[in-house]
Amino acid sequence: MSRPGQQGPILVLNAGSSSIKFALFDTMLSPILSGMADGIGGASQLRIADTDFPQNLPTHEAALSAILTGLGQLGFQASTLRAAAHRVVHGGKNLTQPSQITPTIRQRIQANIPLAPLHNPHNLAAIDTLAKLAPDLPQFASFDTAFHATNPDVATHYAVPQQITDRGIRRYGFHGLSYASLVDLFPDLTSTPLPARVLALHLGNGASLCAIKDGRSVATTMGYSPLEGLTMGTRAGSLDANAVLRLVEEDGLDVTRDLLNSKSGLLGLSNGTSDMRALLAQGTAQADFAIEHFCYWAARHAGSMIAAMQGVDALVFTGGIGENSPEIRRRIVANLGWTGAGMDRAYNQSNALRLSPQTSRTPVWIVPAQEERKIAADALTLLAQGARF
């Protein structure tokens, strides 16, 4: 049986602790509009496209209700939507494919809350709230960890006893929707096949690298949580576990967790800002060191990713910094010149699609991150395969 919105747009939702980002895509995956409910539980606001909707949003349920009302005022009532699709941060080791939300899938998302206590509860709250507000609307989930399910066991296991691994302590990797989108978009954007061995650099406030071999993730820098790996905006990246234990002993668990996740990285090194644009403009010794730290560790971790693929055929930048900062790209590629990668200065300064000269042995590209589009595409694929309403 069809429903009124069977040919309507897909609503993509990304729920966080105090915000809900959303976007609408048509059935050809072209964006229609986007917006965000921000400051949930405090000084809240709702913006849809270029329109502000003054709102009091004390809860996620109130925020989602306001989003649906606002979309309705713009002509997109819930009954006209084809489906809702959610970004769910952690799928654990079992949820490795996009899925329609069923009682079983919902239970598995809930079971993974201990793996992502700061994210999955909010993703689940959006799913549950939308089920109440629009019970006839089919819902789907795409998992940010799923792309890395193809990593070999030797890459995902920490060197700890099996009973610890059995408790879920292993590498999962994140930014998977960004990397999956990159794989999908690369051939159409560049008019060339996806190279066999791609070093993908997702650089933003959160930053990671991924070794993509034959279109599949074989290694990535983030691990059990998004804290591991590169220097990031406010996250410390990789840190000796004994140093963490000392901090917990001296400062306490909550203080240490906040320090490593929210007060470190570029923010901690510069003693002031996590914004790369501001750091590049400052010209102070602290800012310069923070930038150098970011670029050094990106290049150093890149060596590890390249080793996992036994070589590299292309470098691809994505994410806010990766797409928009010529200076950061220049520094990182300069440290990776031994791979055969090179940069054309004019291409780099203009954020061109191809950054390297035609003579470069290892080409360098930009592929814009389009996680929301990927989530919508996943939902449409499942609908085409016969997902039930």
Q: Is 250 annotated as a binding residue?
A: no
Show the tokens assigned to 60. 């996620």
Show the tokens assigned to 136. 């006839």
Q: Is 47 annotated as a binding residue?
A: no
3-state helix, strand, coil split of the chain in percent (to 5) is 45, 20, 40
144 has catalytic annotation: yes
Q: Is 322 annotated as a binding residue?
A: yes
Q: Is 14 annotated as a binding residue?
A: yes
Q: In Å, how far from its chain's centre is CA 276?
A: 18
Angle between helices 371-384 and 176-190 (to 10 degrees): 90
Rounded CA separation 85/105 (Å): 14
Q: Is 157 annotated as a binding residue?
A: no
Q: Is 252 helix (H, G, I), strand (E, B) or coil?
A: coil
Show the tokens assigned to 331. 């520094």
Contact 86, 15 (CB under 8 A): yes
User: Of residues 144, 153, 166, 344, which has the active-site annotation?
Assistant: 144
Contact 220, 173 (CB under 8 A): yes
Q: Is 136 annotated as a binding residue?
A: no
Q: Is 93 annotated as a binding residue?
A: no
Q: Is 272 annotated as a binding residue?
A: no
Q: Is 204 annotated as a binding residue?
A: yes
Which region, left, alpha or beta, applies to residue 126 given φ > 0 means left and ψ of -120 to 50 means alpha? alpha
Q: Is 206 annotated as a binding residue?
A: yes
Q: Is 353 helix (H, G, I), strand (E, B) or coil?
A: coil
Q: Is 203 annotated as a binding residue?
A: yes
Q: What is the DSSP string of 60-115?
A: HHHHHHHHHHHHHHTT--GGG--EEEEEES--TTT--S-EE--HHHHHHHHHTGGG
Q: In Å, how far from its chain's centre is CA 384?
A: 25
Q: Is 205 annotated as a binding residue?
A: yes
The sign of the torsion formed by the CA atoms of 11, 12, 17, 19 equals: negative
Phi, psi of 47 (to 5 degrees): -125, 125
Rounded CA separation 201/211 (Å): 9
The half-sphere exposure of 61 on its side-chain side, counting CA atoms within 13 A, is 5
SS (HEC) of 371-382: HHHHHHHHHHHH
Q: Is 292 annotated as a binding residue?
A: no
Q: Is 324 annotated as a binding residue?
A: yes
Q: DSSP label at 17?
A: S
Q: Is 319 annotated as a binding residue?
A: no
Q: Which residues are known binding-site members for ATP? A: 21, 202-206, 275-277, 320-324
Q: Which residues are known binding-site members for Mg(2+)? A: 14, 371
Q: Which residues are known binding-site members? A: 14, 21, 87, 202-206, 275-277, 320-324, 371
Q: Which residues are known binding-site members for substrate? A: 87
Catalytic residue IDs: 144
